[in-house]
Amino acid sequence: MKARRKLSGWPLAALLASVGIALLALSLQMQTPPPAESPLPWEPMPTRAPTATPVGPEAALAQAQVALIGGDLTAAQRWWAEAHRRAPEDGTVLLEGARLALRRGDLATAERRAWAAMRALPEDGRPWALLGEIANRRGEAKAAADFWAVAQSLDPSLRDDLFTARWLAARRAHDSNALRELAQQRIIDHPDDPLLAYYRAEALLQMQSPRTALDLLQLEMAGETHHEAVLWYTMGRAYLALHAPDSARIALEEALIAFRRGDTSIYLATDTPERDINEAIARAYILSRRCDLAAERLAYLVTPYPDLAPLWEKAAACPTPTPTPTPWLPADWALSPDQR
């Protein structure tokens, strides 16, 4: 009987323990807040951060060109550096880097990159054309003309693009042979160019043939009243070379009027039109012994152009012819005695 009582009490103790555990779990569940429900019907899968796609040298160079044209030199330099890092020996990349350096005014870097581009692209005329521009900005007109000549020989398609640059360089260097060749080239390439007479006359002036230059200009300008400033200016210089100061002054005054009205053709013949036209007019006055008018004109120019001071001093010291006095005559000097 004792054993049966002991066995019958064990299930009662186990039942009470189970009830206590269940109550404890329910209490803990009531103290813990329920989890927030997701608005999505499913849970999103975890993802990795996106990886940047590497930019190739062509794409970076294209971005540099866009930034350079847009005027953002900082962005252009950043993109070019990326292109150069990925393709340091690429000729096109080096050429664009030379253009970028030239745009920033860094002539030494531009020259170094242009030479590197030339070595990478030995049959391309563009590096030579850029070397010509660098030399031109340094004031080395003869070297610039030589570089541009090589560029044109390598790439004939640059012929028209380089003509004006080559002409200006040859004119600044007073290279009569180069001017003659370029004038002949213009006759062949553009026989209808309205300024063809100027190119031919300028070459003739540099070849010490002012009479032929003047005849050419007179034939071109005959019968018309309106002409480009550069034609008037070249005609005035031809008259000066032939010691015809009055005709020279008239032509030069026409050139000055046309320039001040906005005619930019004069820049083919001179980089400083205001200075050079007025200097030529002053020389015409000196040749015609009107030194007072020459000195008056030069007085306004010596401040911005101090190199004209010697010519001004010459005009100031130049004796102006004394006017011939007209003898006094009575008012009725032309009347006969019978009419008085």
CATH of the domain at 286: 1.25.40.10
At 6 the pLDDT is 46
Both tokens assigned to 166? 């080559």
Residue with tokens 């390439």: 189
Question: Is 288 part of any domain?
Answer: yes
Question: Is 283 part of any domain?
Answer: yes
At 317 the pLDDT is 84
**How confident is the model over 12-48, as pLDDT tens digits?**
555 555 655 655 555 555 555 555 554 545 555 555 5
Both tokens assigned to 226? 């309106």
- The number of domains in the chain is 1
Question: Is 32 part of any domain?
Answer: no
* Cα–Cα distances in angstroms (integers) from residue 251 to residues 47, 216, 240, in the given order: 82, 15, 10
The pLDDT confidence band at residue 73, using thresholds 50, 70 and 90, is: confident
pTM strictly above 0.75: no
* Contact of 67 with 76, CB cutoff 8 Å: yes
At 64 the pLDDT is 86
Question: Is 329 part of any domain?
Answer: no
- Mean pLDDT for 117-138 is 94
Checking if the pLDDT of 10 tops 60, the result is no
Residues 100 and 59: their CA atoms lie apart, in Å, by 17
At 246 the pLDDT is 95
| DSSP H or E run through 311 | helix 309-317
Question: Is 242 part of any domain?
Answer: yes
The pLDDT confidence band at residue 2, using thresholds 50, 70 and 90, is: very low
**How confident is the model over 282-309, as pLDDT tens digits?**
999 999 989 899 998 999 899 999 999 9
The pLDDT confidence band at residue 199, using thresholds 50, 70 and 90, is: very high
- Structural domain including 244 reads 176-321
Task: Give the phi and the psi of residue 117 in degrees, each rounded to 5.
Answer: -65, -40
Question: Is 220 part of any domain?
Answer: yes
Checking if the pLDDT of 147 tops 90, the result is yes
Question: Is 69 part of any domain?
Answer: no
Question: Is 152 part of any domain?
Answer: no
The pLDDT confidence band at residue 60, using thresholds 50, 70 and 90, is: confident
